[in-house]
Structure 1
């Protein structure tokens, strides 16, 4: 709240300026200015020498905003400033003086903050004067006030930019600002990042609280400039994305796009500033806990059993660690990469789940269709981000988790001719990134595909194991039928296996229909009912293939 003070501030400053001329700051000056010095030092919450320096800097700023000019007014040569550097620094720390953007330590270019100037000319208490800020939260609260002042046109854009530029010098004790300098963000990105951090602190969480366009509109006087920056953010052409500082939640309407702090920035703030900000994992559907996977008995053909047993052995934690050490010792790639290929419904994905269940490894599952982003050029970035997120997930796990690329046909198929279409070029770019990531991969990766004949040759050497899943043989199919429908006799199960060339997935569909009939329609399960469903399982009448005919 603005309140009047009991003495005339501007008059005291003027007296101090007049009597200081050519005084060389002799003791007699301080005797002459006794009451004025006492009042102003209390008003500014500084000592008398600092009050005298400020008073002269205030008047000099109307012509030349340099501390060297203040000392010329005292009748001193420039070098005399050296003896008063500690007092001058206090004025900068208290924000009574602001450093010019291109600050020269010899001339000491400065500005008088507009709010201080307003308080002095109106003879009001200076609300901006405060004790030295010691942590990031306090500085961000101050930043928020500067943002409001800019919004209310109390300060200009150059003044706001100067404030953003000065943070590292003003607060050398805050490690985060040193990192901020290293990223070389332009002022509008600094503004956006600080605003996003403050949103997370003030809201108490990090759940996409920052409206991107509104924040940029707060900085830019022109909506066109805001839209241009939004486009760069969405396309990944921003330092905020390049340095993984924020996550952007996209929307079909760009004025509804939201942002939050990235997990790596949240971790950095915790490490450097002891700032605790919750990071919502958004109930990530990609993460599958091994304990949540239901145990299932799977039946394999003879050729597949050997390969699956090898994988089981590889995923035993003690053997996995031993294998990684040996690979590292021989300077070989540490990643274990497995391609499971075969027709739909042959148990590829379920095999990964059961291997994860048995080995106690959680799964980071990727839906490849999500890499086909609606934003042009985003798909490549999403693929790269998948591997970054997997590594972050891996660091939080006791056991190395499994990265599962389910139904990966779309990204490991043969490459299209370059330049044939934008879609083809995007798919080729995705494959190049995937090949690069696989080359340096450190973890466990499973990829499943139905179209191995279409596999690009460049991927063949990237997969350590390649396991082909056939439809079950008659003997294996009979076991599957018996496990799914226990009421069947051995002979009935073998008859179904001999007559119908079904995958395990198709057999499960029929078993589910039998169960639904029993629950919903009170129809007792029987062999004839199963036979009828088998005859109608495929899309076309002629598609049922009878083995042996």
Structure 2
């Protein structure tokens, strides 16, 4: 307290040790001195007008000349300013609103009080394993607090010291994590989205606000406040703005979203927050409980197969126009697209909702594309084979058909992230209704009517695959939002498939010609099967060299097996 006493008693304030430590202007120091006097006299806040007028005089409105000094103290985080019952004024929004400060109540910030008490001397504890996920989060939030202090201390001699403490503390967190055994869902998200150090800090700052249950328009959520955490100067701040733009990784991947609102000064501001899906994953999934829960729910019934997709949609070789249609489905979550659809009254939910038919010959990538879409949406897939369902429920009441959708709904409502419902091989189930009087015909039609009703009421993402769109009942066709055709690959795509599927690190004869193989009109699934069959044949051969003859023989068998009339003549 000796420094504080000297600061309060010394007439020439610039001679005090605290003044030297603060590295502020004389006028800023005088304002701080008055606030300190009020604070030690048990008055936590003081009117800005009273303070400035008392210090610098009211004649000719002289106190107005010192609003810039007051603003500087607020920007540095030494002083907080509140407008009555309203929230604290955001220091980044003061450029055109200095007069508003005259109506505010001023108080010393916690950062400044810590600065006075030398609490800024941060001690890093000895590394040890975290006992639980929340212990780790607590340290991450403390790290964000240190970054917040750092953003306030740029003009202080304490800046370099605090920066060093942050590095020590970050090293401490890494060492503790190495000793820990809990599932770190936060680190998994950082790796999954390949977030760099600055993006991680922004994410953690917003997560800290969520755990603190702060107001959605808290100044900490605003762009400049967030960017100040990762920027050492104005130039860096301008450069880092791209990290919070609509096409940034955080926003385009739907990790972070924002709302626009009018702040206390009538200016349009953005308040950033972590998206609901990601927040649920972080807060409610300290272990893999959600996945375990989904698996257990699926095991309770015998209808669905649970699939965790691992296929990237960009790795699937399909025509560009088909890939573009799939991409358009995913763009439903784009903020601008959502805003337009909401404005037009087309869409009210932020979640993707779609009922889609993938149709085309077997082996053209329908099911694989469904998995690719699911992975892009970060959803699991609940799949069922329609032919099996038919054989199982024939002869029983239509209530059993409803059970399929009721069970899906129960599972979806019990999970944080509703899975995609995949009706695989839906040809016979969605086919044209039968005109006939037999009992089986009536049962078939009744079941289809129930499915029509359920699809009509379905909420979420439903994908049905079929080989023959021509046989699809027109009533079903009308109830699907999109019908996407999957054609057999052309020569160019077949060439890509052969290049992708051919064995790596293998020996091929000199006469091997990839273009010759690509001339045969095979589907992607057929090409993969040919490669596997040829690889097995070559693996047991004497020299282990892939030959054109071996490939052509496998192609011939595949064509004959698929009842194709093509015959391979010659070599």
TM-score range, shorter chain: 0.3 to 0.5
Larger Rg: 1
Taking structure 1 as the reference length, what is the TM-score of the superposition?
0.43
